[in-house]
Amino acid sequence: MTKRNLKAGLFGIGLDAYWPQFPGLEERLKGYVDIVEAKLDRPGVDVVNLGLIDTPQKAVEAGHEFRSTDVDVIFLYVTTYALSSTVLPVVKRAGVPVIILNLQPVRAIDYSAFNAIGSRTTMTGEWLAHCAACPVPEIANVFTRAGIRFHQVTGVLEGDAHVDGEIEDWIEAARVAHVMAHNRLGVMGRYYNGMLDIYSDMTAQCAAFGTQIEIMEIDELADIRRALPEEDVADMLSRIELEFDIQPDCDPAELKRAARTAAALKTLVERHDIGSMAYYYESVPDNDHEDVITSVILGCSLLTASGVPVAGEYEVKNAQAMKIMDSFGAGGSFTEYYAMDYDDDVVLMGHDGPGHTKIAEGKTKVRPLEVYHGKVGAGVSVEMSVRHGPVTLLSVVEREGRVELLCAEGESVPGPILEIGNTNSRYRFPSGARKFVEKWNAAGPAHHCAVGIGHISGKIDRLGKLLGLDVIHV
């Protein structure tokens, strides 16, 4: 995760001509801006609040200030009618996504109390404190003509669950976009030979998300592994014994081999400041590199569970999807279709190799495998199901030179699984298994995707909007 906090810019808008006409109105609206600041403020987010901008001159200065403070996103709070000339200079110079907060102070004006005020000047001042909706069409028109994408939250300033949920989702999406823009994706090895769908345009990934890609050598991992102090291996073995449910038929020598590789992986990731990773390698029999690559599964699972998602088969796109899911706090485990169960109307999904143990149903098992199917060697592997309950699938799709996000919501459901030493879950979808698979395939993803717990497609949709990426919902 990036060590830099997300910076959320905030400004309210008003019209300076009103202040001498309606005493107290300016102070009241400034107080509303402070309420919005409290809604945005949270750990990991620095709010840059420029207060109430009420003239074009102040707007120009606000644009400079947002730019100099390096804000990632702007929340524009519409307090009352204001000129669009007090908005455009701010947003255009800052050059970051903008969310318009069209929030009035109450659900409805108390018409009887309002009409009983008596003084029409006082009544007009009161009305102006409630007319947040008034300039939004003007602002939207100007943004559209200026080629500025914008997003809206409409509702009540306080006590509106819809507004609070929308703001939460926008902040979370902006935070994940910030994480992705600062993430270093490590790639090690090569593609699985012949899997044409997983080949990635790494430049397109950098352009879409801001990701930095670090190409790492398996030779370095092997060197680290050879030089490890035995106490580091012992510490890692103790961690493995604590975090996994090790089955009795596991060979202690294989567990120690996996612990040595896990400790080396941890060192490699720390050395290069890696936040996610994609890998694949085969080597040749009796080579050091074969010894390394056939013992990585436990270490990659531990990394995945600790915020450094690892995708096998050099699936860069899926490492990105896993990082997005994990940054949302949903997990993000490497998965693909296994089979269909038409009797129970579920899709069986999982994968060999690493899994996200923190989203497992119960403790993740470690089992010995006499063969890694379609790959080299043998060793220990992990077996887990994703926690029962709501889940979201995410695929990062490349097509015709562009990057898209594909997501779907479903349920991880209990039932029999294949006890083959791989990750394995049963998923049920609202459209049914048959229609879901056809719709998902029609969107053109690679055969891997990331699965996380909870229904978060709304947040993924907002992430796509902030990044300018199309989001397909199945």
Distance CA(294)–CA(379), nearest Å, equals 6
Number of alpha carbons in the 13 Å side-chain half-sphere of residue 419: 6
The pLDDT assigned to 288 comes to 83
pLDDT, tens digit (0-9, with 9 covering 90-100), for 379-399 = 888 999 999 999 999 999 998
pLDDT, tens digit (0-9, with 9 covering 90-100), for 180-215 = 999 999 999 999 889 999 999 999 999 999 999 999
Distance CA(386)–CA(355), nearest Å, equals 9
Which residues have C-beta within 8 Å of that of residue 267, sequence separation ≥ 6?
224, 228
pLDDT band at 2 (very low <50, low <70, confident <90, very high): low
pTM of the model: 0.93
The pLDDT assigned to 353 comes to 78
Q: Is the pLDDT of residue 122 over 50?
A: yes
The pLDDT assigned to 287 comes to 81
Going by CATH, does the domain composed of 183-473 fall within 3.40.50? no
Other CB atoms closer than 10 Å to residue 468's CB: what's the count? Answer: 11
The percent of residues above 70 in pLDDT, for the chain, comes to 98
Q: Is the pLDDT of residue 92 over 70?
A: yes
pLDDT, tens digit (0-9, with 9 covering 90-100), for 306-332 = 999 999 999 999 999 999 999 999 999
What is the domain partition of the chain in residue ranges?
A: 6-180, 183-473
The pLDDT assigned to 374 comes to 58
Q: Is the pLDDT of residue 434 over 50?
A: yes
What's the average model confidence in pLDDT over 81-86?
A: 95
The pLDDT assigned to 373 comes to 63
Which residues have C-beta within 8 Å of that of residue 101, sequence separation ≥ 6?
36, 75, 76, 77, 78, 153, 167
Whether 6-180 shares its CATH topology with 183-473 is answered no
The dihedral over CA atoms of 301, 305, 308, 309, expressed in degrees to the nearest 10, equals: 60
392: which strand partners? 409, 452
Q: Across the chain, what does the average pLDDT equal?
A: 93
**Per the structure block, which two tokens stand in for 427?**
């998923």
The CA-CA-CA angle for residues 325, 327, 329, to 5°, reads: 75
The single-letter DSSP state of residue 387 is P
6-180, which class in CATH? alpha beta
Amino acid at 194: G
Torsion-angle region of 220 (φ positive above 0: left; ψ -120 to 50: alpha; else: beta): alpha
Q: Is the pLDDT of residue 354 over 90?
A: no
Which residues have C-beta within 8 Å of that of residue 373, sequence separation ≥ 6?
352
Burial profile 439-467: b = 16 or more Cβ within 10 angstroms, e = fewer: bbeebebbbbbbbbbbbbbbbbbbbbbbb
pLDDT, tens digit (0-9, with 9 covering 90-100), for 11-33 = 999 999 999 999 999 999 999 99
Edge to edge, the sheet with strand 45-53 lists 45-53, 6-13, 73-78, 98-104, 150-156
What's the average model confidence in pLDDT over 49-66?
A: 96
Q: Are 77 and 91 in contact (CB under 8 A)?
A: no
Q: Which of 373, 286, 301, 386 is nearest to 346 (CA)?
A: 386
pLDDT band at 1 (very low <50, low <70, confident <90, very high): very low
Distance CA(351)–CA(369), nearest Å, equals 14
Listed in sequence order, the DSSP H helices in 161-229 are 161-182, 202-209, 218-227
Question: 399 exposed, middle or buried (CB, 10 Å; 0-12, 13-18, 19+)?
Answer: exposed
Burial profile 159-176: b = 16 or more Cβ within 10 angstroms, e = fewer: ebeebeebbebbbbbbbb
pLDDT, tens digit (0-9, with 9 covering 90-100), for 278-308 = 999 988 877 888 889 889 999 999 999 999 9
pLDDT band at 375 (very low <50, low <70, confident <90, very high): low
Q: Which of 93, 31, 29 is nearest to 60 (CA)?
A: 93
Amino acid at 208: A
Distance CA(12)–CA(95), nearest Å, equals 18
At residue 427, what are phi and psi to the nearest 5 degrees? -120, 135
List C-alpha distances in Å: 145 to 44, 97, 136, 140. Answer: 34, 16, 14, 9
Number of alpha carbons in the 13 Å side-chain half-sphere of residue 209: 32
